[in-house]
Structure 1
Amino acid sequence: AYSGRCIPKDLAILQKRAKRLRIKCPIINSISKSNKIQILRDKK
Structure 2
Amino acid sequence: MTEAELDLATGLAMKNPYWNPQPVEQEAVRELLQHAWSGARPE
* The two structures share one fold, judged by TM-score above 0.5: no
TM-score (norm 2): 0.37
Q: Whose relative contact order is higher, 1 or 2, with alpha carbons under 8 Å and at least 6 apart?
A: 1
| Larger-gyration structure (1/2) | 1
Return the structure number with greater helix share. 1
